[in-house]
Amino acid sequence: MKKVLCLFAFLLLITGCNKQENKVKTIVQKNNQMKIAINYPITKEKRLDQKIQKDVKMRYQNFLEQQKEFVAIAKDAEFNIDYTYDIIDQRYMMVVLKTFSNSNLLSSPMNDLDTYVFDKKKNKFLTLSDVISPTENKKVISMILNKLKKQYPDCLLIDRVKKLLNQFTKIHFTFDEEQFYFYFEPYEISAGYFDIMMISIPIENLGLTIDINEGKVEKEWKKIETTTRVIDPNQKSVALTFDDGPSVYTNELLNILKKYDASGTFFVIGNKVEIYSDTMRRMVQEGNEIGNHSYNHKWLTKVSEQEFLDQINQTQQVIKKVTGFTPRLLRPTYGAMNQSLRKRSELKIVMWDVDTRDWESHDIDHILKKTIQNTKDGSIILMHDTKKQTITILERLLKELKQDDYQFVTVSELDKIKQLQKYEK
């Protein structure tokens, strides 16, 4: 019964709505058997959002059913949904959901795909037949086939490829101002290859039935004027840290930090940075610190060395682009650590000694009591800025700790204080 209730609560998280402006829905959960991280965009187009939520729910339910069937032996399971999201000509909305699942029950990881091309003006989903002239179909199929052969020469099952391409309206695609992108699930058309397959063809080579303005204008980010903070090395200090954001709640947390002359360290997920660019820039401007928490919350101790580097470097790059700040800190996803991760990371790995467990319990009084009991000078406190209740927890925590003469600093500021105190001794 407990498992059924947990699933019901999780599905409410997926389908629930929020009066505040939500741009990305984030769900991160873990237990001894599985790690779950789901991120998908909220587009504010009702039909599109309902379809995305329905598909996310279906993907997750299918994964749970598989685990439940072999519950006695299921372990080390991971379920991850990542996304890309773009709007072309203020009209065409592109969303790609990539679902990764793995466990000891599978012989190899599963990578599944959902793509959505939505015309805001007509309030409809588009297929390739809606955007490419019928007279161009054979030409486009030939180009896709040749591109696939060139990019994936050793694993294609040509008969399957041809069969799929003849189902023209079912081909996964998106586009931007310059390229069309075609996506394929590896199990449909290949053998011995497990990642999502993608090729691109320049728009100028395709006969389109829609007009797309060419040339993408990159947004220019102005330099941020940061706040100068005064830190007393002789005062008791704690570092407040927030994982899994930014989110719809992050600005409220920033308001509270500012109110108490406090700063925090936000370990962010890279695929949310540009969508919450204003929030990210505010973090830096008000003297907070940004850390790296991977690009899409994959289980970092389970990925290959190359994927680990991609997860970290993509996040570094997008944070630098949006804020001008390059993170020096890494918090491993799910708090999972091993020697391999330590060797791979050039960033300083930051854990914690006080876990509020704000993701697990709704008993705010209990959370506060345990957190304050465990907090001492030099503590690093873990919270999550994807949880609404963390707003209340933070306000009350700062109020009580301030009365006990604590100052609230970033992780890097705390390191400097500890170094100075060690030097003085």
CATH number at residue 185: 3.30.565.40
In a domain, 213, yes or no: no
Bridging pattern class, strands 34-41 and 77-88: parallel
In a domain, 192, yes or no: yes
pLDDT over threshold 60, residue 3: no
Q: Are residues 175 and 257 in the same domain?
A: no
In a domain, 227, yes or no: no
In a domain, 418, yes or no: yes
Looking at 156, 184, 204, which one is the last position of a domain?
204
Ordered DSSP codes for 242-270: EEEE--TTHHHHHHHHHHTT---EEEE-G
Ordered DSSP codes for 191-250: SS--SPEEEEEEGGGS-BSS-----PPPPPPPPP-PPP----TTSEEEEEEEEEE--TTH
Name which of 66-80, 100-114, 258-272, 327-341 the model is least confident about: 66-80
Q: Are residues 157 and 242 in the same domain?
A: no
Q: Are residues 306 and 413 in the same domain?
A: yes
Bridge partners of 147, per DSSP, are none
Q: Are residues 258 and 199 in the same domain?
A: no
Bridge partners of 84, per DSSP, are 96
Q: Which residue among the candidates 172, 293, 297, 384 is catalytic per the annotation?
A: 384
pLDDT over threshold 90, residue 327: yes
Q: Are residues 156 and 260 in the same domain?
A: no
Q: Which helix (H) or strand (E) holds 119?
A: strand 110-119
Q: Are residues 261 and 147 in the same domain?
A: no
Q: Are residues 186 and 247 in the same domain?
A: no
Q: Phi and psi dihedrals of 162, rounded to 5? A: -65, -40
Coil, helix or strand at residue 237: strand
Angle (CA) 289-291-293 rounded to 5° is 150
Our count of domains for the chain comes to 2
For 205: left if phi > 0, alpha if psi spans -120 to 50, otherwise beta; the answer is alpha
Q: Are residues 196 and 241 in the same domain?
A: no
The predicted structure's pLDDT at residue 1 = 39
Calculate the average pLDDT of the chain: 91
In a domain, 218, yes or no: no
For 172-180, what is the mean pLDDT? 95
Joined together, the tokens standing for residue 401 give 């700790």
The predicted structure's pLDDT at residue 214 = 58
The predicted structure's pLDDT at residue 221 = 85
Q: Cα torsion at 359, 394, 378, 288 (round to 10°)?
A: 100
pLDDT tens, 113-148? Answer: 999 999 999 999 999 999 998 899 999 999 999 999
The predicted structure's pLDDT at residue 319 = 98
In a domain, 226, yes or no: no
What is the domain extent for residue 279?
236-424
The predicted structure's pLDDT at residue 207 = 87
pLDDT over threshold 80, residue 50: yes
- The pLDDT-based confidence of 216 (bands split at 50, 70, 90) is low
Please name the residue that has the structure tokens 């540009």: 274
Looking at 184, 204, 224, which one is the last position of a domain?
204
Q: At what angle do helices 158-165 and 137-151 cross, to 10 degrees?
A: 150
pLDDT tens, 218-252? Answer: 678 888 988 778 899 999 999 999 999 999 999 99
Q: Are residues 273 and 344 in the same domain?
A: yes
- The pLDDT-based confidence of 13 (bands split at 50, 70, 90) is low
Q: Does residue 172 have an active-site annotation?
A: no
For 155-174, what is the mean pLDDT? 94
Name the residue among 215, 218, 220, 221 with its Cα closest to residue 202: 215
pTM: 0.90
Bridge partners of 220, per DSSP, are none
Q: Are residues 189 and 242 in the same domain?
A: no
Of 212 and 37, the one with more pLDDT: 37
Please name the residue that has the structure tokens 């299921």: 74
The predicted structure's pLDDT at residue 5 = 41
Bridging pattern class, strands 110-119 and 92-102: antiparallel
Q: Which residue among the candidates 243, 244, 355, 385 is catalytic per the annotation?
A: 243
In a domain, 357, yes or no: yes
pLDDT over threshold 60, residue 20: no
Question: What residue type is 186 in one-letter code?
Answer: P
pLDDT tens, 57-100? Answer: 999 999 988 888 776 677 889 999 999 999 999 999 999 999 99
Q: Are residues 163 and 245 in the same domain?
A: no
Q: Are residues 109 and 30 in the same domain?
A: yes
pLDDT over threshold 90, residue 4: no
The predicted structure's pLDDT at residue 271 = 97
Q: Does residue 384 have an active-site annotation?
A: yes
Name the residue among 214, 266, 222 with its Cα closest to residue 240: 266
